[in-house]
Structure 1
Amino acid sequence: MSIDEIKKMLKILIEYENSKIIHTIPGIIELMYSKESQCFQVTTLIDGEISPYYDVNAASQALYAILSTIKKD
């Protein structure tokens, strides 16, 4: 997945902020947009750690790094 595709997906999450949409890579991460905190939340499923990202660029870079690591394995 390219960084532009990731940004497009994140922008769609913002458009549907009144709905609870969760993208999951089983056993690895969950991604959602929180309307209340106005941030993207990436939850690492291995340890349950939640990382907030407050803009599309930061979130897309973090997700791209995660996906690139998975792709290499």
Structure 2
Amino acid sequence: MGIDEIKKMLSNLMEYEDSRITHSVPGLIELTYSKEAQSFQVTTLVDGEISPYYDVNTASQALYTLLNAIKKE
């Protein structure tokens, strides 16, 4: 998945902030947008760690890096 596709997905999450939408990579991560915290939340399913990202650019770069690291494995 390219960085532009990730940014579009994140923008859609913000657009539908009143809905609970979760994107997931089974066994790896879950991505949601929290209207209350005004942040994207990436949950690592292996350890349950939640990482907040407060803007589209930072969140998209983190997801892109994570997804491409997995691809290489």
TM-score, normalised on structure 2?
0.98
Aligned twin of 1:33:
33
Query: Secondary structure of 2:19's partner?
Result: coil
Q: How big is each residue's C-alpha offset from its partner over 1:10-66, in whole Å with a ceiling of 9 and x where there is no partner?
A: 000000000000001011000000000000000000000000000000000000001
**Counterparts of 1:5 and 1:72 in 2: how far apart (Å)?**
19
Please list every run of at least 4 consecutive aligned residues from structure 1 whose deviation after the TM superposition is greater than 2 angstroms: none
Gaps of 5+ in 1: none
| Identical-pair percentage | 73
Residue identity in the other structure for 1:20: R
Query: Secondary structure of 2:31's partner?
Result: strand
| RMSD value, Cα | 0.4
Q: Residues 13-52 of structure 1 correspond to what in structure 2 (within 5 A)?
A: 13-52=13-52
Gaps of 5+ in 2: none
